[in-house]
Amino acid sequence: MSKLTEKEREGFEKILIKDLSAINARFMNQIKDFWNIARMKVLESKGWDALINEKEDLKKQQIEIKDRINEIENILNSEPLRVEQVVELGGNPNEYGRFIGANFYGIPITSQLEYEIMEYIKENIDLEVPAKILRDVCESSIRALTMAGTFEEARTAYEKFYSLDFR
C-alpha cells in the first residue's frame, strides 16, 4: 500500500470536515423540529395553547378594528374643503398653490364635515357678541396696563382683569 501524501491527507480532512458540517446541520434541524414539537406538547400540558389561540384571535380582531376605524375616518374626512371655503375661513395659498389654513376661532377646518359643524354653530349660536366682548375686555385691560404709571396701578389693572374669572 502506498502512503498518503500530506496533500492527500489535507484533501481527505477537508472532505471529512464538509461531511461533518452537513451532518451537524441536519442534526441541528432535527433538534429544531423536536423543539417545536416539544414546545407544543408543553403548552398543551399547561393549557397555554388556548391562550396562544386567543392571542392570535385578538390580533386578528385588532387588525379588523384598525381597518374599520380607518374606514370611518375616511368617511368622516373624505371630502376636503373647496378653495372658496378655505378663503372664507381665512386660509391662504401655500408655496405650492394649495389653499390651507382655514380655521374657525382657532379651530382648524379641513373637511366638509368640520365645515358643516361650523355652519351649525353659526346658525344656532351668535358668537360675534361674546367674541366682541372678549376683544373689548382684552383691549381695555391692555390699555389700562399701558397707561399705568406705577407698579401698584399696573397690579390693580391686572387684578381687575383677573377678577373677571374667565373660567
- pLDDT tens, position by position, 94-118: 888 888 889 998 899 988 888 999 9
The Cα–Cα gap between 33 and 35 comes to 5
Q: For residue 92, list its beta bridge partners.
A: 100
Mean pLDDT computed over 78-102: 87
Chain position carrying cell 406705577: 150
79 touches 112 (CB < 8 A): yes
Give pTM, 2 decimals. Answer: 0.47
56 touches 65 (CB < 8 A): no
Q: How far apart are the first and last CA of the chain?
A: 107
- pLDDT tens, position by position, 39-55: 999 999 998 989 999 99
Residue 140 reports pLDDT greater than 90: no
Domain segments of the chain as ranges: 9-56, 83-124, 128-162
Q: How far are the Cα atoms of 73, 114, 123 from residue 119, in angstroms, in the given order?
A: 20, 9, 6
163 touches 150 (CB < 8 A): no
Q: What is the mean pLDDT of the chain?
A: 87
112 touches 80 (CB < 8 A): yes
